[in-house]
């Protein structure tokens, strides 16, 4: 299934409410959620390295994909809260890395 990043962001946005009175609280909550999701990915990777798991396929690959999808979800929400598209974040990322 192919999906444009801005269509993804619209789908994420549809599952969340944006209240200007709660802007800073929601923004901080989503930033903390990114940290939590990143920590979960790091923990899985450290455990996988210790257990010498094959990360390229099967359950390990699915777990990594799931954790990456959590990160994408929160990045999309934060972008939306800041009034920018996910596409503009992706373009900025490429520009920052010389792409």
pLDDT tens profile 9-37 = 888 877 666 666 788 888 899 999 999 99
Per-residue model confidence (pLDDT) at position 1: 56
Could you give the angle at which helices 58-81 and 23-51 cross, rounded to 10 degrees? 160
Number of Cα atoms under 13 Å in the Cβ half of residue 25: 6
Give CA angle at 1 (64, 90), nearest 5°: 65
Per-residue model confidence (pLDDT) at position 20: 67
Per-residue model confidence (pLDDT) at position 19: 66
N- to C-terminal Cα distance for the chain? 26
Taking 80 as the threshold, does the pLDDT of residue 99 lie above it?
Answer: no
Query: pTM score > 0.75 for this model?
Result: yes
Report yes or no: 43 and 50 within 8 Å, Cβ to Cβ. no
């Amino acid at each position: 299934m192919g999906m444009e990043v801005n269509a993804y962001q619209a789908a994420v946005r549809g599952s969340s409410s944006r209240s200007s009175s709660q802007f800073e609280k929601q923004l901080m909550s989503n930033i903390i959620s990114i940290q939590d999701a990143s920590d979960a990915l790091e923990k899985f990777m450290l455990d996988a390295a210790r257990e010498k798991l094959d990360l390229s396929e099967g359950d390990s690959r699915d777990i990594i994909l799931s954790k990456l999808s959590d990160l994408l979800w929160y990045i999309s929400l934060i972008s939306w809260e800041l009034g920018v598209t996910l596409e503009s974040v992706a373009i900025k990322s490429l520009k920052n890395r010389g792409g």
